[in-house]
Amino acid sequence: MTTLQRIEMPVRGMDCAGCCNSVQRSIASLPGIESVDVFLASEKAVVQFDPAQADPAVIRAAVEKAGYSVPAEDNTGETKGTQPLNAAAFTRAVLFFSGLIFGVVLLIVVAGEWLGLFEAVTERIPFAVGVVIVLIGWYPVLMNVLRATWNREVISHTLMSVGVVAALVVGQWITAAIVVFFMRVGDYVETFTAERARRAVKDLTALAPQTARVLRNGDEVEVPIVQVLAGDTVIVRPGEQIPVDGEVLEGQATVNQATITGESMPVEAGPGSNVFAATIAQLGGLRIRTTRVGADTTFGKVIRLVEEAEANRADVQRLADRFSSYFLPVVAAIAALTYLIGRDPLATAAVLVVACSCSFALATPIAVLASIGAGARRGILIKGGKYLELLAKADVLLIDKTGTLTLGRPQITDVVELNGRSREEILGLAFAAERYSEHPLAEAVRQAGRDRGIPLLEAQSFAATPGMGVEATIDGSRVRVGNRRFVEANSDGTGLEAAGNTLLYVSENELPIGILAAADTPRPEVPAALQQVRALGIKEIRLLTGDNESTAATLAGQLGIDYQAEMLPEDKVEIVKEYQRRGHTVVMVGDGVNDAPALAQADVGIAMGAAGTDIAMEAAHIVLMRDDWALVPDVLHIARRTLRVVKMNFGFTTIYNLLGLSLAAFGILPPIFAAAAQSIPDLGILANSSRLLRQKGRE
């Protein structure tokens, strides 16, 4: 079986969604291509291919044939920022600026027409010279149009170029030149619009560490980040950026983790603490044992998720892409009817020139990219416009309890003795059995053991059953710690449960020997956050927990929500499916570990406090990098606001195009002003979508 190869190839020259589609089609048409995603924001193509049938050189050639460039890379894998100016690039630059200069001159000429000087000027400039002026400015656009036509594609400049030809045919070379000028202005506007949307991603990428100070043979050596290996000891001085993910070996520092969590409040890091790349040691120095470097770090994964969020297109964006493919033929038909009915070549040219299909293509991705970038800066990772659209339509919110609604740091409040065993014996066996468990209740047991000074016994074996408990062999005895079903205990602790405690049953060789009561504290910001969630349109909120009925009822009663208790991970998945079968759009909020199946099944899965957690980042559709419930209504607000902006973009560009086409078809809008008007929708979309870059959650 052939192993597929994956490459990330930088692509330059893409200005809109149509450009991405063109590059994608060019690559996908090659033999051996398994999948291809082209991203406007990060200006790259991610390609999976069969190396027996394709190679990077062939893919590069396909991109260049489509009219785009692939920058060279240096030996570190970084794209070179500056490339030697080759003849083709020099020619394009000269032609562009020549066309720009001629365009400015021609604007002056048009102004002269209003002063009665037009005829005198045109008499002094021969028609042949005028055609040369048009060709100089038109050449780069014409090449793109011819290339697209060769590839059997119709782009927005195709119709405008037909309008240029029409103007020249009727002897209006100044009109043709002005059309060309505004075509170039439109290109600049689209480039600027796309660049504005990319800025959030580029700003995030710019924070990635470039070098690290590594301990090699007893000496501190500064090396490029690509040369740092897992296991290396990295030295971070006060005020420096932490370049890797790792565990602190020595030192104490106050670390600003805003780049990861979006939270400006620093945290303390010391021996045993986990730290993340791209965070800053504000006070104090650290020695760190490297665990992950570069793209494998939490920050590297944040960048990857933000860059690749474009792949998950919203349904409204797919609709826009389909609409754009039909829009141009419709415009061509309107132009033909205009000529057949009115026999006015200038009106026909104006129809072809005023149509702005790019504005439809830009309406969704610019807004989505703005929201994704703004969210990333606040510690909210959104994996695509698809999930923003679904979140905006959500009406059911399902919530995990431990570590999600609660702080996830329960404490052992009581120990019930059964079958003659002492509290110390019960807690000692539970302490040993829970030694390797990652569940928050396991940490409560371990903390209780440490607080009471109980010796930690060695467990010869360990196994965890999600949603049930753990089992270990300790001094030859089979010890189980978990819920009542897992331990198969007949004893109950209803009095403790009624008080809101979670019970852990402990058995030794199938004999129940004790009950541990643990209590967790709800997050203080949850009640206000849930009230805001309801105000944003969520009609039903339900707690799903593996805890017992009494504990779940106590917490749900405090928060005023429904609940279902004693649920396994697969039970939560079934609840999600049941809501979906009834036509609801379901949001699931969990911690991303035991809840991973339900997060993946939900229409939108939101993982909380996922900094450094691979499972959460992979399973959830939206990742909250810190444990703050205020981010849940924030992301709901962002989704709804984004959808409103997208609808406004569509409404504006639809009305504008209808008005422009009508005025042009009736001869009211001359080709010169049609060309100028063609760029305005892009500016409107940019201005409207830019509001999302500044959003800070709820307004």
3-state secondary structure of 669: coil
Residue 593 shares a structural domain with residue 446: no
How many other CB atoms sit within 10 Å of the CB of residue 194? 25
Whether residue 135 is contained in a domain is answered as: no
* 79 DSSP β-pair partners: 73
Q: How far apart are CA 654 and CA 356, in angstroms?
A: 10
Q: How far apart are CA 547 and CA 496, in angstroms?
A: 13
Has this prediction a pTM greater than 0.75?
A: no
- State the residue range of the domain holding 493: 411-519
Residue 595 shares a structural domain with residue 620: yes
How many other CB atoms sit within 10 Å of the CB of residue 537? 12
Whether residue 546 is contained in a domain is answered as: yes
Q: How far apart are CA 615 and CA 225, in angstroms?
A: 25
Per-residue CA distances from 328 to 154, 323, 353, 570, 650 (Å): 8, 9, 11, 49, 16
Could you read off the pLDDT of 299-324 as tens digits, one per residue? 887 777 766 665 666 666 666 666 76
Whether residue 321 is contained in a domain is answered as: no
Tokens of 494: 């209803």
Residue with tokens 């009230």: 531
CA 246 to chain centre: 25
Q: What is the CATH number of the domain that holds 57?
A: 3.30.70.100
Residue 498 shares a structural domain with residue 553: no
Taken in order 269, 271, 275, 278, the sign of the CA dihedral is positive
Per-residue CA distances from 390 to 205, 581, 605 (Å): 27, 16, 11
Residue 528 shares a structural domain with residue 610: yes
Residue 536 shares a structural domain with residue 401: yes
> What integer pLDDT is reported at residue 90 of this predicted model?
41
Among residues 594, 620, 639, the one where a domain terminates is: 639
Residue 400 shares a structural domain with residue 536: yes
Residues marked active site are found at 400
Whether residue 179 is contained in a domain is answered as: no
3-state secondary structure of 554: helix
Could you read off the pLDDT of 475-516 as tens digits, one per residue? 889 999 988 888 776 665 556 766 667 788 999 998 999 999
Whether residue 155 is contained in a domain is answered as: no
Q: How far apart are CA 551 and CA 566, in angstroms?
A: 10
> What integer pLDDT is reported at residue 172 of this predicted model?
75
> What integer pLDDT is reported at residue 538 of this predicted model?
94
Residue 391 shares a structural domain with residue 478: no
> What integer pLDDT is reported at residue 94 of this predicted model?
43
Residue 511 shares a structural domain with residue 563: no
pLDDT along the chain (699 residues), means of 10: 80 71 86 85 82 89 85 52 40 46 50 53 76 86 80 72 80 76 69 61 74 89 90 91 92 83 73 89 89 86 70 64 74 90 85 78 80 83 87 93 77 87 91 85 88 88 85 91 79 62 87 87 88 93 84 86 86 92 93 76 86 67 87 93 91 91 90 74 80 62
Residue 388 shares a structural domain with residue 528: yes
Q: How far apart are CA 589 and CA 406, in angstroms?
A: 12
> What integer pLDDT is reported at residue 616 of this predicted model?
64
- Evaluate whether 223 touches 264 at the Cβ level (below 8 Å): no
Residue 423 shares a structural domain with residue 482: yes
In the chain, how many domains are there?
Answer: 4
DSSP string, 333-352: HHHHHHHHHH--HHHHHHHH
Q: How far apart are CA 255 and CA 236, in angstroms?
A: 11
* 381 DSSP β-pair partners: 623
Q: What is the DSSP letter of 48?
A: E
- Give, for 299, the enclosing helix (H) or strand (E): helix 298-307
CA 463 to chain centre: 36
> What integer pLDDT is reported at residue 632 of this predicted model?
94
Residue 528 shares a structural domain with residue 399: yes
Among residues 474, 502, 519, the one where a domain terminates is: 519
